[in-house]
Amino acid sequence: MYGSPTPESQAVIDAGKQAFLQNYAPAPVVLDRGEGARVYDKDGNEYIDFGAGISVSSLGHQHPDLVAAAIDQLHKLWHVSNLYWTEPTAKLCEELAASCFAERVFLCNSGAEANEAAIKLARKWASATRDAEHREIITFEGGFHGRTIATVTATAQPKYHEGFEPLPGGFTYCRFNDRAAIEAAMSERTAAVMVEPVQGEGGIHPAEPGFLEHLRKLCDRHDALLIADEIQCGMGRTGKLYAYQWSDIEPDIMTLAKALGGGLPIGAMLAGPKVAGCLQPGSHGSTFGGNPVVCAVARVVLQKMQDRALMQRVQTLSERVVTRLKKFGEERQLFADVRASGLLVGAQLRAPFADKAGAVMSAGVDNGLLVLVAGSDVVRMLPPLTISDEELNDGMDRLEASFETALAD
């Protein structure tokens, strides 16, 4: 039964509670297996996954082609280090570069590492071409770039900084979507501007039309780099392979992670012509980056995300989810706003419900739904892009039931 772990599951939860550092507060559920857009706990309860992890399992759980690629590589070679080539790793980099503006790719294991590499690359590029003043990286309020000490500093949200000071220098923050503010903030000191084309953790805020073009123009004027953090919004999530492709610009650097590995850990930093030659042997590295098993799976993910029919379906499903959410919200005066970029959807609760997003997420578990939040007032939905009509409708029913239970209290 939902919400009542069996003694066996409770023992797992108790062990986790004892042994985990307390930086997470997992729901009292022990997930055990997944298939498509559904996951099952150890007690046999079934959940619709409206989070895809956190924007990771975008092709669903146990996709047979991903399983086959992983198993094939598992039976060949797991790891050799970056002192040698392997086919999945080299081919993935080639295919990633061919998919966009990039010339070269660095592989690592997570989003934070990809952004860390982007920050280092920007600094290295600046150090080779400009004086020592020219190192500043500008990021945007509401953005999220990771949890390492540099990427958490790049994350212009004080709540993530508290207690971790002193933070590294050289970062400046600017209001998102504020053209005048970024124009005033940029100077000869600026080495790079780092932006999420759609802010995910910050509450599903897309760059307004023209904002990325404005950034590109300013970066060109100041000879600064434009870094697109597509860790959450890239890999098909918005209905195009990369979210920047909704604009007319190309960045100089792009970071990917999350969905690229289909559920296995990977990060990638893609470098365009201006910066692709900056890092020389020994200047940066990662023991596990480019792991052949993960790369074999990522190659299949990348190929599938380039399927036009899938991208079209993401847009169709997005409209369906938004229409249904808006209708539900209007009838109950629930939402201040419903925002979506493809299947990156946020429903912002209005007063007096504005602190209830967490309660909706908890109610979801009791209703057989895994859904996410972004802050205290936004319920965030990122279902697998491959979700079926039936799973989506079922998930929406459960979501509406979760709003009803959470907001009735």
Q: Which residues are catalytic?
A: 144, 229, 258
Q: Which is nearer to ligand PLP, 92 or 260 (CB)?
A: 260
How near is the Cβ of 154 to ligand PLP at its closest, in Å?
Answer: 9
Question: Cα separation of 98 and 283, whole Å?
Answer: 25
Question: Cα separation of 387 and 104, whole Å?
Answer: 33
Q: Which is nearer to ligand PLP, 73 or 115 (CB)?
A: 115
How near is the Cβ of 200 to ligand PLP at its closest, in Å?
Answer: 5
Q: Which amino acid is it at 117? A: A
DSSP-derived letter for residue 245 is: G
Residue 154's nearest CA partner among 123, 133, 127, 132 is: 123
Question: Cα separation of 356 and 6, whole Å?
Answer: 28
Strands 171-174 and 136-140 turn out to be parallel
Residue 139 near residue 171 (C-beta atoms within 8 A):
yes
How near is the Cβ of 215 to ligand PLP at its closest, in Å?
Answer: 16
Q: Which is nearer to ligand PLP, 212 or 363 (CB)?
A: 212
User: Mapped to the 3 state alphabet, what secondary structure does 250-270 carry?
Assistant: CCCEEEECHHHHECECCEEEE
Q: Which is nearer to ligand PLP, 269 or 349 (CB)?
A: 269
How near is the Cβ of 42 to ligand PLP at its closest, in Å?
Answer: 26
β-sheet bridge partners, residue 80: none
Question: Cα separation of 297 and 66, whole Å?
Answer: 5
Q: Which is nearer to ligand PLP, 228 or 314 (CB)?
A: 228
Residue 256 near residue 267 (C-beta atoms within 8 A):
yes
How near is the Cβ of 60 to ligand PLP at its closest, in Å?
Answer: 19
Binding site for ligand PLP (CB under 6 A): 54, 110-112, 115, 144-146, 196, 200-201, 229, 231-232, 257
Residue 115: enclosing H or E segment and its boundaries? helix 111-129
Q: Which residue is nearest to ligand PLP (CB)?
A: 111
How near is the Cβ of 199 to ligand PLP at its closest, in Å?
Answer: 8
Question: Cα separation of 209 and 248, whole Å?
Answer: 10
Would residue 274 be called left, alpha or beta, if left means φ above 0 and alpha means ψ between -120 and 50 degrees? alpha
Q: Which is nearer to ligand PLP, 200 or 290 (CB)?
A: 200
* CA distances in angstroms from 159 to 90, 141, 142, 184, 264, listed in the order given: 39, 12, 11, 26, 29
